[in-house]
Structure formats: structure tokens, C-alpha cells
Amino acid sequence: MKKPRLKFQAPTGTRDLLPEDLAYYKKIYSLAEEYAQFYGFKRIEPPILEDYELFLKSTGATTDIVEKQMYILKTKGGEILALRPEFTPSLARSYFENGMISWPHPVKLYTRGPLFRYEKPQAGRYRQFHQINFEIFGSKKPIAEIEIIWIFLKILEKLGIKKIVVEINSIGDSQCRPYYKKILTRYLKHNQHLLCATCKRRLKKNPLRVLDCKEIKCQKVIKEAPQIIDYLCEECHDHFEKVLEYLEALQIPYNLNPYLVRGLDYYTKTVFEIILEKNLQKRQNALAGGGRYDGLLRLIGKQDIPAAGVAGGVERIIEVLKDNNISFEEEQKREAKVLIAQLGDEAKIESLKLIEEFWRAKIPVEFLLTKDSLTNQLKIANRKKIKYVVIIGKEEVIKKASILRDMETGKQESIQREKLVKEIKKLLKKNK
């Protein structure tokens, strides 16, 4: 049956994360955090709102993210802000703003949280989504890329995701890319009539992005296009060679993809995507993407700080987990073996104090403070198969006592309030 449309629904491309969803988020975040700590990445949390120009300058004015997907708003004070569409520019801004430049280098940062892009919603593509993000600021060594790729692969591995491949390419730097761009543009102009309308536009503004196009007609042109790998300067060439050497030495499965350029302007040298082997041909639904961006920090803080980073899509990871029937819900469930039943207002107050004692003793308890009927509370305990019920009525409050009922045997005994938690702890231990 079709659900009636409610007056208010979550905006298109966004959704409520319900308890069963959050069990996945919790697991992914906690693993990522463990890795961040162990590998020396400090967690920071930038604001969700940023100056719109931050992304315009760094992500790039002609990128899809800035041109089409950014949520922009004008405040009452006249500022133009954006809901962050990605993390890297925020972290780079924070690096300068918070004096991280004087920290021991490299500065390794970790962050996570929601991002916003006005995209056409579809499987694995939302308007509000979440990423985990690792960045290394202040190292130009190829091992920096490897470290973040390695961490990400290990997180996926620990989650139980198998058969992952790193798609990798080098897109050169300011030394060699301009020349390649010229060569590519010449080739694409020659074949302009064969390109899709979007690529015709891309050709004028950002020809490298044509290589990223998934349209079949463009694919034919792309296949014959000159490849950047043949135009890398010596420095970029050596850098990339080293990256590939490391991947091989670590036996990380990779696929050299000369057409991988990624959508953003700021990348230099290495770009990569982490993708399920079975999605390799489709070249979509990457679990994570990243690369090196040696020029980005200069755009934000006017200093040359080489950097590399990776961003992984939490929703994409969850989809793979669900496809593979991997779930973490059980871990979240706390099975209470004790229920506190109360009768009367004084007993409700006393119950709250008692719940706190159980909390301190780390014993999970159920309670039904909004219920007034004792019979009802006992029925619920029965239904939930809870073995012990603590009953507190008016008299127990006055006497500083409690009744402990074993629901299996039906036996009841009065126990002094101050001894109750200790007694229950003993019983639970015995019943283990």
C-alpha cells in the first residue's frame, strides 16, 4: 500500500538515520578513530558552514561541486556561506588559522561528519552524506599517499570488506600539466563533434574533466586520447614510480587508470580511488577517493605546504556491508536481566536514583517510569524474559527497602535498598 504523503518529509536526498543505521555509523567511526589514534592522526572538527569563497578558490570554480552542487546561503549579516561539500579546504583553512604550521610536521589530521552536495539522488549518492577523512600536511614524499591508502584499506578489511582495488593515476603538476592540457585540448577539439554536450562545455573550461566522462560516445574519444602518463615531468614521473613500487611491495591490488582525474582542481601528482573489484569496469561508486594536492595550501594560506588526503564515503561502505550481510546491530543491543518496577510517585523518584546506581555498577536495567500499574510492568518483564524484577512501592521507599522477584520461580524477598545492587551483581555472576 502506498504511504500517504506527509506534510513534512526529510528534504530530497537526505534521510533520518535510524537506530539500525547508526549501528553501522558507530562501528565505522570507532574503527576509523582507532586507526587515527594509532597512526597519529589528530581529530579535529571544522564547522559545517564555511565562507563560500573557500571552496570557490580551492575546490575550483569550474568543478561540478562548486558550479552545480554547493548549498549556498546568505546570512542576515550579508555573509555568503556554504554548507561544506568536502573536508579538505576546511582542514587546510584550519591548519593556518590555528597555527598548526608551528606543530611538528607532518601534521596528520582526521575528521568525519556530514557533507552536502546538491546532486541527483540515486543509490550511493545523497545530498547529505558522511565521510571519514585523513589528511597529511607537510610531506611531499610518496609514502604519504601510501600511508593513507593503507589505513583506508585496513579499515575496510577490518569491517569485513574484501576484494578491493586501488585505481590510481598521476595527473602531473604545474610543471607538466599545462603542456599536457594543451595537447589534450587540441585532440579533443579535433573530435569535438563526437563528445556529449557536457564535455563540449568541459572542453572550454576544464578539459581534463572530459577524461572522467562515463558517456559511451565520449568513452570512444577518451580511449584514443593522449595519456598524461606520457607527459609527466621527471619529478612527477619518479614520484609516481615510487608510489607504484610501494603498492607492489605491500601487495596492494591496484589498477593503473590513465583516465582517472577526479573532479577537483587541486590535485597534483597522485590521484586514486578505492573501489570494489566488481565495480572496477563501471568506474562508479568508489568507496573512497583522494590524492596529493601540493598546490592547495598555497591558495588558502599563501605558503607552500605539500599534502595528501583520502576521503571515504560512509554510506557507500554501509551499502557494501549490507550487500554482504555484515551487520553490527547485535553489538549495540544491551540485554537487560533486571527490570525496575515502581508504584507511586515517591517510588518513581527512588527508581531514578536506583537506575543511576545500576549505571555506576555497569548493569543494564529496564524501567517503565511512565507506567503506573504494577501488573502491567510485570507483564512486560515476562514478555521480555527478564529474570529479575525489583519492585519499589510507597512502603519500600519509607523503609529504605526493595522487593526482589525472581520471575522464573516467582519467589520474592525483601532486600535493604543499600545492599540491592550488590546482591543483584552476585546473582547475575552466579547465573552467567
119 vs 423 by CB, closer to ligand AMP: 119
Restricted to residues 228-287, the positions that interact with ligand AMP (CB under 6 A) are: 286-287
Contact 340, 367 (CB under 8 A): yes
117 vs 405 by CB, closer to ligand AMP: 117
64 vs 173 by CB, closer to ligand AMP: 64
Q: Which amino acid is at 217?
A: K
172 vs 291 by CB, closer to ligand AMP: 291
CA 222, 308, 37, 126 torsion: positive or negative? negative
At its nearest, how many Å lie between ligand AMP and the CB of residue 35?
A: 17
Q: Per CB under 6 A, does 319 bind ligand AMP?
A: no
Alpha-carbon separation of residue 193 from 184, 200, 207, 208 (angstroms)? 15, 8, 15, 17
275 vs 381 by CB, closer to ligand AMP: 275
Q: Give the residue closest to ligand AMP by C-beta.
A: 313
Binding mask 65-104 for ligand AMP (x = CB under 6 A): ---------------------x------------------
287 vs 296 by CB, closer to ligand AMP: 287
115 vs 386 by CB, closer to ligand AMP: 115
Restricted to residues 129-188, the positions that interact with ligand AMP (CB under 6 A) are: 129, 131
**Which member of 315, 350, 366, 396 binds ligand AMP (CB under 6 A)?**
315
Restricted to residues 39-58, the positions that interact with ligand AMP (CB under 6 A) are: none
Q: Which residue has 614510480 as its cell numbers? A: 241
Binding mask 112-131 for ligand AMP (x = CB under 6 A): -----x-x----xxx--x-x
CA nearest to 363, candidates 335, 404, 328: 335
At its nearest, how many Å lie between ligand AMP and the CB of residue 349?
A: 47
**Which member of 311, 338, 343, 381 binds ligand AMP (CB under 6 A)?**
311
**Which member of 28, 151, 159, 288 binds ligand AMP (CB under 6 A)?**
288
At its nearest, how many Å lie between ligand AMP and the CB of residue 20?
A: 19
Alpha-carbon separation of residue 385 from 215, 281, 339, 407, 420 (angstroms)? 58, 51, 10, 8, 21
At its nearest, how many Å lie between ligand AMP and the CB of residue 271?
A: 9
At its nearest, how many Å lie between ligand AMP and the CB of residue 275?
A: 8
At its nearest, how many Å lie between ligand AMP and the CB of residue 361?
A: 42
Binding site for ligand AMP (CB under 6 A): 86, 117, 119, 124-126, 129, 131, 286-289, 311-313, 315-316
